[in-house]
Amino acid sequence: MSLKHMAPFIHTPMNDSYMQMVRLISLIPVMSIAVIFYGLRAALLILFCAGVFAISDDICTRLRENRHDSYLSSLFYGCAFALLLPPDTPLYIALLGSLFGSVVIRQLAGGRGSALIHPSCAARLFVRIVFPANEAALAIPGKDRFALESLIFGSDGMSYVNLHEYYPAEILMGRYPSFLGTACALMMVVGLVYLIAKRVYKFYIPVAYISMLSVLLLIGNVYLEGSSIQMFIGTTGVMFTAAYLLCDDETIKQFGPIAIVQAFICAALTFLLSFKTSGVDLIVVPVIFTGLLTGIFEYADKVLRTTWEERLHAKP
């Protein structure tokens, strides 16, 4: 049975396990591209992170003697975390990040729906802070598909990626050094369309995020000489935010105007951060801050609704 608090999912006769399965299936396009470009090490990294998230969630819920809602939710968070990692991330870093997201962020808060911030984003930010050298563990797509050394020893990585050296078609397909699942904007759009078509997400939440971000980038281009809107949205991974991170149990939890306001705030934070930082920060930090504000928005929405109902009942 669907959980009533699991907005922004659309509540239908479909059960919660079905919705989590749809979310997991929506990751297949970006996971497929990751495996095509980076080979066996990408597949093993994704499976490893998903397995650690699922096993640690299960152990924690058993220790607390709570009912485990669904392994599919844990698998989704694990896969999403893996897709935010550089291709040559060693397994021990992936292990520590997965345990941090699952145990510290998710389970110590009480399990699914109780965490203050998105577990995958928190795990990725943990890795960036604790292992800053790993941010350079990028790889050239299509090269060394069967090499597995990086899973143990890591990689020297790439110091700089010049996107102007790549053709537009390569950028569209994500064929340039980046994180595992944040380069191919086309596949992220496919995943998002699938989620909307299956009536799991309300379409206006990701649309509000991308629209607000585009407007801010346009203003930046006019007054601040910013970068190309298409290049920014297509290469920074913000489409990953719109498709997989923004609409979540731990971030935007309700429908209506409040959800749109939260999407606008997330877009504004992304825009402001673009002046100070780049890389994975543009993806995870706005989502984390938006999640922290969710409680405030829920309380404000409750107060406004109560006040409105009291005024209606007070009328003669």
How far apart CA 270 and CA 272 sit, in angstroms, is 6
Hey, what are 113's tokens?
């729906």
* 252 three-state secondary structure: strand
- Upstream peptide bond of 177 is cis (omega within 30 degrees of 0): no
pTM for this model (two decimals): 0.88
Mean pLDDT of 7-15: 53
* Cβ proximity of 225 and 283 under 8 Å: no
CA triplet 147, 150, 151: central angle to 5 degrees?
Answer: 100
* Cβ proximity of 150 and 88 under 8 Å: yes
Mean pLDDT of 69-82: 88
- pLDDT band, very low/low/confident/very high, at 117 (cuts 50, 70, 90): confident
Q: Residue 5 contacts by C-beta under 8 Å, 6 or more apart in sequence? A: 113, 253
Of 157, 84, 168, give the one whose Cα is nearest residue 119.
Answer: 84
71-83 vs 40-63: helix axis angle to the nearest 10? 140
Hey, what are 247's tokens?
């609409």
pLDDT in tens, 204-263: 999 999 999 999 998 888 766 656 888 889 899 999 999 999 888 777 766 678 888 889
